[in-house]
Amino acid sequence: MPRSLRSLAVLTAVALGSFACSQAPVPPPGRTPTPAPAATPAGAPTPAPGTAAARPGGAGGPAASGPRPYADVVTSAAVSQEGLFTLHRVGETILFEIPASELDTEMLLLSRPMESTLQNPAGFFGGGSSNVVQWERYGDRIVLRRQDYTLTADPDSAIWRQVQTFRRGAVLASFDIRAFSADSAAVIDVTDMFFTNIPELNPVEGINRGRSWIDATRAFPTNLNIEVTQSGQARAAPAGGGFGGPAQQGPMRSQTVKVHFSLVRLPETPMMARFHDERVGFISSRTFDMSRPEHRAQDVRYIHRHRLEKQDPTAEISDPVEPIIYWIDPATPEWIRPWIIDGVDKWQPAFEEAGFSNAIFGRMAPTPEEDPEFSLFDARHSVIYWRPSTVANATGGQIVDPRSGEIIKGEVNMYHNIMELQKNWYFVQVAPLDERAQSLPMPDSLMARLVEYVVTHEIGHAIGFPHNMKASAQYPVDSIRSREFLERMNGHVATLMDYSRFNYVAQPEDSIPPHLLIPLVGPYDHFAVRWGYRPIPGARTPDEELPTLDAWAREQEQFPWLRFSTPGATADPENLTEAVGDADAVRATQLGMLNLARVVDLLIPVAEVPGRSYGELQTLYGEVVGQWGRYMGHVAAIVGGAYSEETAGRGPRFTPLERSRQQEALRYLSETAFHVPEMFLDPEILRRIETQGVLNRFRGAQGNVLNSLFNQARLERLVEFEALADNPSDVYTLAELMADLRSGVWGELSAGGSVRVNPYRRNLQRAYLNAAQSRLNPTEAELTRAFNPVPQPWSSDVRGMLRAELQDLDQLAQRALDRAGDAQTRIHLRDVRTEIARILDGEE
């Protein structure tokens, strides 16, 4: 076997926005099963509590008696099934016959909840576990052991002797051999494995055996499926969350979960792996290869992809030996099923560019009545689940073969309430451009198209692609207002793996057809599928593929819309979520605000329905304000930003933004973020949805903008950009930012004549002081937290600049006091001075 195929990957389940990676090589040669001795050798694993080996009895009789005659264990009452192993069910007991040929063979053990009380009202589905395991024999005992692939090495290298000892992970369960079959297969009782508190396998703690049972068993040539009902205790599902939000763990309570276990043998011949490249977006697995020629523990990554092999390897385009099939949950509403199928099939043209015709299909899964042997949870089936949930979200991910990155099971979770999310987004962003969205509920044909878009996006994750937020900045703003351009480029964003949603930059006068307002499979998607899936003739190892892969990746140098998000580019304002046209965020936001004003005008006509509550109006108004906040965030990201491009060792990757762009951004924020737009203060809307709340709402929104601008890393970048500049006058400095913020936030105080500060501006100025306080006086918890700790305020020029700015503001407020035009302004200015003193005193 080629050396490069000996690198393995940690099995990884991936979900939307969350990609954990790792990898590693083919297992060491299997140990020869030993005959059954009378005693367990020294050092053999201790039986896991509650497993068959630890029980005083079981289907095969007392453990202390050793292996017994086969007929005494597999009695006439057994219902037997032939498959990966011969499986026997004797009442509430499950017996496996494990032949010697399956020992030390890597398998995937997958568990998925089928029915569960673990969800909260917001809904909680998915979950489960994925483990690469193997069965090992130690005397009269069989153990189930996890495999760990953090480290790898060439099995022919000297270091492999040590690496393989770290390959063998934890023992999950231990079983006495109850009997031997005629062909010497070991018979073990595995029942308690499904009712024991093994955290890697079972979601419920403290399982009560009396309230748990076996539901079904099925055996197939390469896998076994077992369904069990577990009752015990577990924490209630996290509250909140959904779309990346925070989650709160609930209390412990009695729970019952029906769990599907699927044990499948990994492919006998691993697919040839393909190395990851930072320039191309692929979810990947990571390991440290101790035997690469580099003089270090080399970080190696293999991309995740489905196995595709041409029926005719000599043909430019050929059908695959086995196409990629995504089975669609029969629970999917009937009216939307054709759109779900089409959402999968949308990827077919991209695979044709990779050399495969008819490569990927969505198909309806059979119902239990049509095929009782079929299970959506079977490890062999890639699936689109339809979840009856109030969570407004969807996810996509995969389970991979640890030896190659081959996707064994792709999974998409479509939560029923994704339709609510799509309705809100589409209305708030492009209702003025599509008359179908100007009344609610939206027609089924529009909602189905929106759900199809989500399915296509999530299938992208399931077939190996992460998000690519860089794509939304690759087209000029004016171009995405052109129908001709949109038709030529297949949409307003180069990939639907960006969160670029709907084309809010287009204006009514542009006459853009509604189907071009929704992201489509774009040129980057075609490029990425070709890069990851196209066979490279003559290449026998991943190393031999590298020159061709590099040449393909360098196409980005000529075509910017083929670029992927640069790793570590946290300061790139063109690498943002929820953005359209952020190559020029100020211009894109100006156009988006024109549409947002039109949406505000639609709120009452669309959401006010006689006989119904104003809940819809309240929701949509909140969405409109939220969209305004996103626009302001896109502009704020320009300040202290740096362009990025992954050059793969061919030059600089980061370039600070031009001074003029940053100044323009601050001017726009001063006009649009630091003054609440009048359109949001319409009493006709506000008095329909609340007695109060508008002041708090915009104080929070403006505070978010100021906190972003006062971000410690952003401020320190401005200091560093100035320090490294050949000509400091070419860069936007921290001092200029402070001066521009003072003008934008505190402009009333330095203007001539009477000083009047309205309630919204008073809130804004208080938010400014809160942001300064958080920089100068971070709490101990903020300084010491494990994730993203706040930098110490005395570690850079930021402290001195902020302190001087507050001192100047104090003098400005003092001078303005004598010109206060009303009592509330006078009180506010006195409060400002008091607060500044408190901040400076606390900072000493």
Give the separation between CA 357 and CA 664, rounded to whole angstroms: 49
Positive or negative: CA dihedral 128, 129, 130, 135? negative
Element (H, E) at 553: helix 542-553
Confidence at 122, pLDDT banded by 50, 70, 90: very low
- Mean pLDDT (whole number) for 776-792: 79
- Mean pLDDT (whole number) for 522-531: 98
Measured torsion, CA atoms of residues 316, 349, 344, 378, in degrees rounded to the nearest 10: 10
Could you tell me how far CA 745 lies from the centroid of its own chain?
37
Tell me the pLDDT tens digit for each residue of 211-223. Answer: 999 999 999 999 9
CB-CB contact of 153 with 290 (8 Å): yes
Residues with Cβ < 8 Å from 354, sequence gap 6 or more?
A: 308, 529, 530, 532, 533, 534
Number of neighbouring beta carbons within 10 Å of residue 416:
17
pLDDT for 803 equals: 95
CB-CB contact of 734 with 660 (8 Å): no
CB-CB contact of 258 with 111 (8 Å): no
pLDDT for 374 equals: 95
pLDDT for 796 equals: 84
- Mean pLDDT (whole number) for 184-206: 89
Rg (CA), the chain: 31
CA atoms within 13 A on the CB side of 615: 3
- Percentage of the chain beyond pLDDT 90 is 75
Neighbour-count burial of 52, counting CB atoms closer than 10 A to its CB (0-12 exposed, 13-18 middle, 19+ buried):
buried
Residue 116 pLDDT > 90, yes or no? no
Tell me the pLDDT tens digit for each residue of 281-335. Answer: 999 999 888 888 888 888 899 999 999 999 999 999 999 999 999 999 999 999 9
Residue 121 pLDDT > 60, yes or no? no
Residue 830 pLDDT > 80, yes or no? yes
3-state DSSP assignment of residue 443: coil
CB-CB contact of 66 with 204 (8 Å): no
* Closest among 465, 475, 674 to 574, alpha carbons compared: 475
- Specify whether the backbone of 242 is left (phi greater than 0), alpha (psi in -120 to 50) or beta: left
Residue 142 pLDDT > 50, yes or no? yes
Give the separation between CA 39 and CA 782, rounded to whole angstroms: 57
Residue 812 pLDDT > 70, yes or no? yes
CB-CB contact of 28 with 156 (8 Å): no
- What beta strand segments (E) does 440-540 contain? none
Q: Nearest 5°: phi and psi at 327?
A: -80, 135
Give the separation between CA 61 and CA 56, rounded to whole angstroms: 8
Tell me the pLDDT tens digit for each residue of 787-802. Answer: 777 777 677 899 999 9
pLDDT for 167 equals: 82
Tell me the pLDDT tens digit for each residue of 487-512. Answer: 999 999 999 999 999 999 999 999 99
* Closest among 454, 344, 329, 447 to 394, alpha carbons compared: 454
- Sheet harboring 394-400: ordered strands across? 360-364, 324-328, 382-387, 407-415, 394-400
Positive or negative: CA dihedral 735, 738, 741, 743? negative
3-state DSSP assignment of residue 293: coil
- Mean pLDDT (whole number) for 29-54: 37
- Sheet harboring 129-138: ordered strands across? 79-81, 86-90, 93-98, 186-189, 168-180, 141-147, 129-138, 107-116, 252-265, 223-235, 213-219
- Mean pLDDT (whole number) for 47-73: 57
3-state DSSP assignment of residue 116: strand
User: Can you name the residues that pair with 205 across neighbouring β-strands?
Assistant: 233
Residues with Cβ < 8 Å from 496, sequence gap 6 or more?
A: 453, 456, 457, 460, 519, 520, 521, 522, 525
pLDDT for 236 equals: 61
Tell me the pLDDT tens digit for each residue of 678-735. Answer: 999 999 999 999 999 999 999 999 999 999 999 999 999 999 999 999 998 899 999 9
pLDDT for 249 equals: 57
Higher model confidence: residue 159 or residue 477?
A: 477
Give the separation between CA 373 and CA 369, rounded to whole angstroms: 10
CB-CB contact of 798 with 715 (8 Å): yes
Give the separation between CA 663 and CA 737, rounded to whole angstroms: 8
Q: Nearest 5°: phi and psi at 477?
A: -60, -45
pLDDT for 351 equals: 98
Positive or negative: CA dihedral 806, 809, 813, 815? positive
Residue 199 pLDDT > 50, yes or no? yes
Give the separation between CA 570 and CA 386, rounded to whole angstroms: 34
Neighbour-count burial of 476, counting CB atoms closer than 10 A to its CB (0-12 exposed, 13-18 middle, 19+ buried):
middle
Neighbour-count burial of 691, counting CB atoms closer than 10 A to its CB (0-12 exposed, 13-18 middle, 19+ buried):
exposed
Give the separation between CA 581 and CA 62, rounded to whole angstroms: 71
pLDDT for 118 equals: 64
Sequential DSSP letters for 168-201: EEEEEEEEEEEEE-TT-PEEEE-GGGGSS--TTT
Tokens of 776: 């100068």
Sequential DSSP letters for 558-592: T-GGG--PPTT-TT-TTS-TT-SSGGGHHHHHHHH
Q: Work out the mean pLDDT of the chain and round it to a whole number.
A: 88
* Closest among 812, 735, 801 to 772, alpha carbons compared: 801
Tell me the pLDDT tens digit for each residue of 586-644. Answer: 999 999 999 999 999 999 999 999 999 999 999 999 999 999 999 999 999 999 999 99
Confidence at 363, pLDDT banded by 50, 70, 90: very high
Residue 92 pLDDT > 80, yes or no? yes
pLDDT for 782 equals: 78
pLDDT for 115 equals: 85
Element (H, E) at 642: strand 642-644
- Percentage of the chain beyond pLDDT 70 is 89
Tokens of 54: 């630890």
pLDDT for 126 equals: 55
> Using a CB cutoff of 8 Å and minimum separation of 24, what contacts does 515-518 make?
515/449, 516/483, 516/486, 516/487, 516/491, 516/492, 517/430, 517/433, 517/434, 517/492, 518/449, 518/450, 518/453, 518/491
Tell me the pLDDT tens digit for each residue of 243-268. Answer: 334 444 567 788 888 999 999 999 99
